[in-house]
Amino acid sequence: MTIEIVEIGFGFSVATKEIIAILDPDSSPIKRLISVAKAENRLIDSTNTRTVRSVIITRSNEVILSGVQAATIGDKFVNRHFQKSKIDP
Q: What is the pLDDT of residues 38-76, one digit of tens each?
A: 999 999 999 989 999 999 999 999 999 999 999 999 898
Does the structure show a pLDDT above 80 at 3? yes
Does the structure show a pLDDT above 90 at 77? no
Does the structure show a pLDDT above 80 at 86? no
Q: For position 79, what pLDDT does the model report?
A: 79
Higher pLDDT: 81 or 2? It is 2
71-80 own/partner pairs: CB under 8 Å, 24+ apart: 73/6, 73/8, 73/9, 73/22, 74/22, 76/6, 76/7, 77/6, 77/16, 77/19, 77/22, 80/4, 80/5, 80/6, 80/16
Reference 63, options 32, 17, 27; nearest CA is 32
